[in-house]
Structure formats: C-alpha cells, structure tokens
C-alpha cells in the first residue's frame, strides 16, 4: 500500500467485543444522551456493515445495559474526544469495549445521521426529545455558539444588545479555523479545479494574466487591494495588501506561471485521495491553500489584525530574473516571508536551497570544403556531446555539494545521414556561491579543449540563482512554526531543497520559509498531484502562521 499510494498507511487492530454509540448535544458542557448499544446478539466478532446501516439496521439497546462506572467513562471519554477534535454543537462517538473492559474510540461523527433508525435519534428519543424538539434544540445550540452566549435564557437577561451579540467565546482560534475549513474543503477543491482549467504555461501570457485576474477577484472579496507590475515578456506580476502601511507583518510569495506546455496538459482528476492536474503541485495548490487560510481568518474576524502582503510572480519557470528586484524590495519591508510551494510527503518546510546555473550548448558540424576529405566519425556532434556529458558528470563528482543534471538533448540531421547538429541543455546545482565562478570556468574549458576542427560550439549561460543557506533567523522562524504545528497537530519537518526557490532572492537577514502549500508528489512529470486531505491541514497551518506573524508567534 505504501509503495502504490506513496503515503502513510494506517493499520487498525480489530477489537472484538461490545459496541456503543454516545450522542452529545451542546458545546461548553455538552449533554450526554442515553448510551446506545448495538445489538450483535452476543457475537463479539460482529461489526456494522454498510448494509446494516442503510438497509437492515441492527437492533439497538437504549439505554444500554451498563453499570454506572462504564456509563460515566463513556460520557467522559466522548466529551474529551469532542473537545480534542474541535467539534461543535452535536456529534456521535462510537466505542468498542473489549473483554478486559478497555474502551476504544472507533470514530467521532461530527454530522451524525438524523435518520429515524439511527443511533443518534434513538438516543435523543430515549432522553425525551421528539424529532422536532431535537432539531429545535440543535438550532438553539448553534445560535448560542455563534453569538457567544452561555444559554438561550440569557437573551432575557438585562444586558445591552450589542454586548450580548458580540460577547467573545473561549474556543481557541486554531480550533475555530479548523472547524471552518473542515466545512469548506469542497470550496478549496472547486478553486483548484477552476485554476487547472486555466492554461498558465509561462509563455502563454494571456493565460497567466487570466489566472491573475481570477486570483485578484478572490482576494478582492477578502478585502485586499492590488498593484499590478506589468511585464512585456511575461504575465503581469501582482502585489496585494490588506493595509496601507509600509511594513508587512508577513509577505506571502507564490507564482502564477508553470513550465508545462499545453500539449502536455492534464485535466483535473480526483482519485483515491489524490488530486491530479497540470499545476496542482507547481503553484495552484498553494493558491488554493492560501485562499482557504485567508477565508478562515476573515470568518474568525482575525484577518484585519494582520498586515499581510501577497506577491504573485510570473517568471518562476524561467529563473525569476525579472521578479528578483521586486521580491528583494518587498522582503525588506516585511517581518516574515513565506512561500506557497508544495511540501513533500512528510510535510517538509524548506529552510535552504541550492544555487543553480543553466547552460545551453549548440554543436554544429562544419561541412568539409570542396576537395577535402570528410571528417571521421569521431567528429560527429552526437558523439562529441556524449563525451562532454561524461566530462560534466565527472566535474560534478569531483566537487562536493555539486550536481549536474542533463535537462535536454536534441539532434537534427538530413534523411538517413548522421546528425550534423546537437543541442544540449544542462544545469549545475551547488551549495557554495564561490563554486559558481569556478564551475563556469571549468565548463568553458570542457567545451573548448579537444574540439575537432570541423565542430563549432556555441555556449550560452542561462538563468542562475545563488544558493540560500539556513541562517540563524530561519532556524528560529522554523522552530516557532514547528511548535505551532505540534499544537495544531500538523506534521512538518525541515529540509534542504535542491530545486531553486524564491528563497535565494530574499535578503539573508529576513526570516523566511518556503513549502507552506499542500503535500505534493509527481512534480516534474505529467502525474503531479496533491494529497486531498493535506489541503485542510496545510490551510490550518498557513492561517495560524499568518495570524501569529504580528504577535512574534507567541502561542
């Protein structure tokens, strides 16, 4: 299973014994409804199948034949699970009791079935509710929570109306954020599907700008103003802000472009807990998580408490040369900087990245002059390129922290004759800035030395990015986010990225982290995907990081 699905596998031990359902109604001190026992007819190996629940419901014993101690433990444990998971208003908690008297929580259903044969309604009727009075009580409970009152009786108390309506609750912010996002996961998926339908290939300027307009509309609804930075060779870069000050508490950086040509486009597909589609892992998943996080902060009336800036660049696929000055300037005016790149399967946050240098080599075979003997096979451009590839790999192996990746090889010939032209593209990744000049000198030497007379070589250096080491400021920032992640039960760990990141454009004295997007996989191919459930967890994490950025992450 781990090999097929590339994610963790939860293995549960079967628990023989009795099964109970405990209904809860309320919030601060929820009412425990009479315990229901599922009637298995004494068969401790029995379970409730889907058919049992939907077609032929098993019998229910309510109130369950249990002693006072077990009854108390069931209610106490149900309420503890209810609070730990941040559930509101009502729920049903299912238990299994083994032969040794140990209780196990099977699941907590935050939207328990209200069918007449269901355990929750059976329990409520045993408590004296009719179906109508149960529904009314559930509505009362929701109103109490929403308006922050202890009970409906307080409406008649001599209290100013506005004070009553806006009285604060004591539910932790991260619990309210998760509760909101749990109910709006479908919206994030819909956003992702909409973005996948937009062709934002880096050279499709109109497509990139179309995605930018869509994102602008979503952020405008959340109270953000935009500033467009026009670009002729790329799509327009856009900066958003929810305040008018000079300094941001936090700057969030994402990108609108992706490197996948439309001929390799993959449509949106949700399958087996994964969401596939062009760009989902390359940038669009991060945008969906951001929109979810900001919506949750607005819902909890927390967004306006943070001075938030958002920058979307449009040249990430081409090295970011045009966006570099913009990122540098905005980063200097921000206390924290975070990126929306997707995380690895272990929830990695990027704290450092390698530098990169790109090269393109054109190799031409010069035709022989009339009357002269043709060149030998050793002067073939393809063989020449193959020899140089070996030299490049050897160069990387001789330098610590250096990697060489051949990104493309193209040949061209006439008919059945050997190719007379070869185009070779490659890049070096390195960990030390001092290595870049040395590598460039050695690459030039490799392609100049031993070049046959009938071979012409043209070398072009492409986009490059400096390496970004993990600084003390970044370590401190990561430790703050790690403590937060433990509190809200989201898995994170730090990592070094061999792939370029906008981190390299951020001044080294600024605390910065990348990888706050969803958990992703398959980047670099046509099967990129995000883990569906990670949209929720990563949006919860991002929302809390944004909120705490103006409080120096004091939990």
Other Cβ atoms less than 10 A from the Cβ of 415: the count is: 4
Q: Is the peptide bond before 63 cis (omega within 30 degrees of 0)?
A: yes
Q: Domain check: are 308 and 343 in the same one? A: yes
Q: Domain check: are 284 and 360 in the same one? A: no
Q: Mean per-residue pLDDT for 97-115? A: 91
Length in residues, the chain: 555
pLDDT of residue 167: 43
Average pLDDT, the chain: 87
Weakest mean pLDDT among 221-235, 298-312, 494-508: 494-508
Asked if the model's pLDDT at residue 9 lies above 90, the reply is no
Tokens 């619990």 -> residue: 175
For residue 49, being part of any structural domain is answered with: yes
Q: How confident is the model at residue 392 (pLDDT cuts 50, 70, 90)?
A: very high
Backbone angles phi, psi at 218, to 5 degrees: -65, -40
CB 205 within 8 A of CB 193: no
Other Cβ atoms less than 10 A from the Cβ of 65: the count is: 10
Q: How confident is the model at residue 7 (pLDDT cuts 50, 70, 90)?
A: confident
pLDDT of residue 261: 85
What are the tens digits of pLDDT across the range 18-60? 999 999 999 888 999 999 999 988 888 888 887 777 777 888 8
Other Cβ atoms less than 10 A from the Cβ of 85: the count is: 16
Residue 318: which CATH number?
3.40.630.10
Q: Domain check: are 112 and 226 in the same one? A: no
Q: How many CA atoms lie within 13 A of 184 on its CB side?
A: 20
Q: What angle do CA 530, 536, 539 make, to 5 degrees?
A: 95
Q: Mean per-residue pLDDT for 411-420? A: 83
For residue 478, being part of any structural domain is answered with: no
Q: How confident is the model at residue 165 (pLDDT cuts 50, 70, 90)?
A: very low
Q: The tokens of 423 are what?
A: 């185009």
Q: Domain check: are 449 and 323 in the same one? A: no
Q: Domain check: are 219 and 313 in the same one? A: yes
Rounded distance, CA 445 to CA 443, Å?
5
For residue 275, being part of any structural domain is answered with: yes
Q: Domain check: are 385 and 310 in the same one? A: no
Q: Indicate the number of domains in the chain.
A: 3
Cβ-based burial of 437 (10 A; exposed 0-12, middle 13-18, buried ≥19): exposed
Q: How confident is the model at residue 117 (pLDDT cuts 50, 70, 90)?
A: confident
Q: Which is more confidently placed, 265 or 555?
A: 265
Residue 90: which CATH number?
3.30.470.20
pLDDT of residue 158: 43
CB 336 within 8 A of CB 252: no
Going through 81-233 in order, the beta strands assigned E by DSSP cover: 90-97, 103-109, 225-229
For residue 169, being part of any structural domain is answered with: no
**Domain limits at 441?**
355-465
Q: The tokens of 450 are what?
A: 């031993």
pTM value? 0.69
Going through 314-466 in order, the beta strands assigned E by DSSP cover: 334-339, 348-353, 355-365, 403-412, 421-430, 455-465
Asked if the model's pLDDT at residue 466 lies above 50, the reply is yes
Backbone angles phi, psi at 486, to 5 degrees: -65, -40
What are the tens digits of pLDDT across the range 302-311? 999 999 999 9
What are the tens digits of pLDDT across the range 512-532? 999 999 999 887 667 889 999
Residue 385: which CATH number?
3.30.70.360
pLDDT of residue 369: 64
Asked if the model's pLDDT at residue 223 lies above 60, the reply is yes
Q: Domain check: are 273 and 146 in the same one? A: no
Helix (H, G, I), strand (E, B) or coil at 255: strand
Asked if the model's pLDDT at residue 161 lies above 70, the reply is no
pLDDT of residue 130: 87
Q: Domain check: are 331 and 363 in the same one? A: no
Q: How confident is the model at residue 4 (pLDDT cuts 50, 70, 90)?
A: confident
Q: Domain check: are 362 and 312 in the same one? A: no
What are the tens digits of pLDDT across the range 330-381? 999 999 999 999 988 889 999 998 888 999 999 998 876 665 555 444 568 8
For residue 47, being part of any structural domain is answered with: yes
Asked if the model's pLDDT at residue 400 lies above 80, the reply is yes
Given 431, 447, 465, the domain boundary residue is 465
Q: The tokens of 315 are what?
A: 């040249």
Q: The tokens of 500 are what?
A: 């370029």
Tokens 């800035």 -> residue: 433
């Amino acid at each position: 299973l781990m090999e097929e699905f590339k994610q963790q596998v939860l293995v549960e031990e079967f628990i023989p014994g009795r099964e109970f359902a405990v209904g809860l109604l309320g919030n601060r001190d929820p009412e425990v409804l009479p315990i229901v026992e599922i009637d298995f007819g004494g068969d401790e190996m029995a379970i409730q199948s889907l058919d049992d629940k939907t077609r032929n419901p098993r019998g229910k014993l309510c109130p369950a034949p249990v002693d006072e101690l077990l009854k108390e433990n069931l209610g106490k444990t149900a309420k503890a699970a209810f609070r730990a998971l941040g559930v509101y208003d009502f729920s049903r908690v299912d238990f299994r009791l083994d032969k040794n008297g140990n209780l196990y929580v099977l699941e907590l259903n935050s939207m328990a079935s209200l069918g007449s044969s269901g355990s929750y309604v059976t329990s409520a009727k045993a408590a004296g509710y009719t179906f109508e009075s149960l529904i009314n009580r559930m509505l009362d409970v929701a109103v109490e929570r929403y308006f922050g009152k202890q009970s409906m009786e307080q409406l008649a108390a001599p209290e100013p109306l506005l004070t009553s309506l806006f009285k604060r609750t004591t539910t932790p912010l991260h619990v309210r954020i998760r509760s909101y996002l749990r109910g709006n996961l479908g919206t994030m998926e819909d956003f992702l599907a909409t973005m996948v339908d937009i062709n934002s290939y880096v050279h499709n300027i109109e497509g990139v700008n179309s995605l930018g307009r869509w994102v602008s509309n979503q952020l405008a609804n959340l109270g953000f103003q935009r500033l467009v930075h026009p670009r002729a060779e790329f799509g327009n870069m856009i900066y958003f802000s929810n305040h008018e000050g000079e300094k941001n508490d936090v700057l969030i950086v994402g990108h609108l472009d992706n490197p996948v040509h439309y001929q390799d486009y993959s449509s949106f597909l949700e399958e087996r807990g994964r969401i596939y589609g062009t760009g989902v892992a390359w940038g669009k998943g991060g945008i969906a998580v951001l929109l979810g996080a900001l919506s949750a902060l607005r819902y909890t009336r927390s967004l306006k408490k943070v001075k938030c800036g958002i920058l979307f660049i449009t040249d990430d696929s081409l090295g970011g040369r045009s966006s570099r000055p913009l990122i540098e300037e905005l980063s200097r005016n921000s206390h924290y900087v975070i990126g929306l790149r997707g995380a690895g399967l272990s929830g990695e946050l990027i704290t450092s990245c390698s530098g990169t240098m790109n090269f393109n080599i054109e190799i031409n075979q010069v035709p022989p002059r009339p009357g002269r003997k043709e060149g030998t096979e050793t002067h073939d451009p393809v063989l020449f390129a193959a020899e140089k590839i070996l030299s490049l790999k050897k160069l990387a192996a001789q330098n610590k922290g250096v990697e060489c990746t051949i990104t493309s090889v193209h040949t061209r010939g006439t008919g059945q004759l050997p190719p007379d032209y070869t185009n070779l593209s490659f890049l070096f990744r390195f960990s030390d800035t001092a290595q870049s000049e040395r590598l460039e000198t050695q690459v030039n030497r490799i392609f100049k030395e031993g070049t046959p007379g009938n071979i012409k070589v043209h070398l072009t250096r492409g986009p490059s990015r400096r390496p970004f080491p993990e600084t003390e400021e970044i370590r401190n920032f990561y430790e703050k986010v790690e403590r937060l992640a433990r509190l809200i039960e989201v898995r994170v760990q730090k990592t070094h990225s061999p792939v370029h990141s906008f981190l390299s454009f951020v001044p080294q004295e600024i605390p910065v982290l990348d990888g706050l997007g969803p958990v992703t996989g398959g980047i670099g191919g046509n099967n990129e995907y995000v883990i569906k459930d990670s949209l929720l967890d990563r949006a919860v994490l991002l929302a809390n990081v944004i909120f705490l950025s103006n409080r120096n992450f004091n939990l």
